Amino acid sequence: MTKIILMRHGETVWNTLGRWQGHAPTPLSEDGILQVQHAAQNLYQHQPLDAIYSSDLLRAQQTAKIVAEIYQLPINLEPRLREINLGAWQGLTREEIMAWDSERYQALWQQHHLPRPGGESLQQVGQRANDAIQMWLKEHPNQVILGVTHGGTIRGLLYHLGLSDGNSSTNIKNTSLTTLIYEDGIWHLENIGQVTFYPNLDCEE
């Protein structure tokens, strides 16, 4: 049995402003750093880890660094864990997107092959994230791996694995944990978006 724990990065200033980040190099906010410290300590008390992988985007790297220091494990950077590429939507709020491109916005939540303008589709981000975890299965059989990543990436991966419909209602809050079990060739979803600290945050991509 191989266990994969996916942690969404801590809060950023753009999260508090409702701005969608995509591949933007946004750092953690002060509250975000505290979130990660609490979440990492709680994880350490309950779950041993064998390896840590992280998206190479700044907010994920900062999150992974805090966790890695507690566990005394190295960080393996994995670009395939990046957030979905939002293209022209990057930096905009939901309201701004709805005012400018509402038809596409409404359609893509049900048609996961549709890309953001100049960016990726949920289907594409799920495929690249799956490529990463398939590598983990080969390199870390019967181990516990933490992947520090992003809300859109987690939703895309769950959709790709057939564990979710990919709908935006799947609530992946900052520092939440989504746990996958791989056993006898079958994926099982142990939990999704599990939050121990800061349960009232509701942030965007």
Would you please indicate which residues are annotated as catalytic (active-site) residues?
A: 9, 83
CB 155 within 8 A of CB 97: no
CB 9 within 8 A of CB 62: yes
| Number of Cβ within a 10 Å radius of residue 111 | 12
Give backbone dihedrals phi and psi of 183, rounded to 5 degrees, phi first: -145, 130
Q: Tell me the residue type at 128.
A: R
H or E, element range at 153: helix 151-160
Chain Cα centroid distance, residue 45? 22
By the 10 Å C-beta count (0-12 exposed, 13-18 middle, 19+ buried), 72 is classed as: exposed
CB 37 within 8 A of CB 14: no
- Whose CA is closest to 44, among 203, 199, 202, 196? 196
